Structure 1
Amino acid sequence: MVAFVLAFVVSPAAIALGVIARGQIRRTGESGNGLATAAVVLGSVFTVGGVAAVAVLASVLFKAMPALYPHPGLASPTPTVAAPPPSRSAGDLARDLSGQLTRGGANVRDATCPEDLPAIPGRTVRCTAVFSDGQPVDLLVTVTSVNGESMHYEYRPEARPIAESLLEPRVSELLADQTGSRPLSVRCAGDLPPVIGQEVDCLVSTRGGTVRVAVTTTGTAGGRVSFSIASK
């Protein structure tokens, strides 16, 4: 009876006890041979089934191990994040432009750029240079080529209107150079457009009276607006 119960709990022990019980029954003639035989049979079946189950489970785990715990050498490589392209900082770019303009003979008072210039061919940034007379000029900077860490660019000056506040003292200086006498005051009707042939009227006061003159744009070379003055 004990062997039969153990067949469902500890099957190998059930086999051993069942064999012993059958031998004892044959010697003594006691009853219980059927239970002993059943214990041996069930213990054998459960033992074989348990061994087979363990073998199947071990095979499944063996196959799953590489996926669960990959070897360091076989692990999926970490995706490489592309480094951002090098760029010229706004401050460095402004200093470069100021130096180039100065070497070209311009008297630059200041240069500024609103943002960094990425090293991507075709990218642009609009900077501003201010000359010693206060006249600002736009500089359209464009990246032309990139070679590793080296970036090449070119800039194109674009003229701005001469603001009324800057135009009046420049007209006064030009008249002083032409006539040898500085006017008492100059009042212009607006900004001078950076387009050749465009003009703006100014009232010039002198000791002899007030005259109206036409200030006309004559050139925009290098982004600098030049002009002439004529009486009206």
Structure 2
Amino acid sequence: MSQQPPPYPHAAPAFAGDEAPTVSLRPSGSYGPPPPPPGGGMPAGPNTGTNTMAILSVVFAFVFSPLGIVFGLVGRRQTRRTGQRGRGLATTGLALSVAFLVVGVAVAVYVTVLAAQIATSVPTGVPDQPEVSAPADPSVPAPTAPVATGPAGSATVGVTGGEYGPEVPTTALAEQVGVGSGATDVICPGYLPAQIDASTVCSGTVDGQQAQLRTQVTAVAGSEATVDITRVG
């Protein structure tokens, strides 16, 4: 049979007399200041000044509209974030900048179209005034057109006996030169022997101009001689 420990009829108090601690539920009447925020600084209050970008947006609306638009947008964004004054000012500057920009573009387009119309209406084919030339000097001969030289044809002329041997008569030569070259009023002065390479120069008129026609014997057959006609002047 197991033995049980004797019961303790009374438990001894942990503290005797006045040594027992008392607990008060009444809150203390004095508290210290709240702890400062991290970093040791005081919380900053809202900035109540007028936003600089808002002011600049109104100024540049009259000076340079594109920059006024930029300042107006930035000013509106900053006033919404920081709580500064000037949001209405930024809105006004933005509106003025947009209006002035639209008006400027419209004026530029109108001026360009007007300039193009004026340019197309100006006549471009105005003839120059004729120059007044000095009177011609009668002592200076007028320039003549260049003369076409070269072969003019050929002719066959009868040969006769002359004082110095066979020769080509000048009258018959002049007639045949005119037929062979198409010249008129042909005159062949001088003596032309009926020998190969013998030559003389006849004069005549070709197309209304004086012409020098050189005739040269190229062949002699019996009583006939063949001459080549060349215009030399």
TM-score, with length taken from structure 1: 0.31
More helix per residue: 1 or 2? 1
More strand per residue: 1 or 2? 1
TM-score, with length taken from structure 2: 0.31
- Greater RCO (Cα-Cα under 8 Å, separation 6 or more): 2
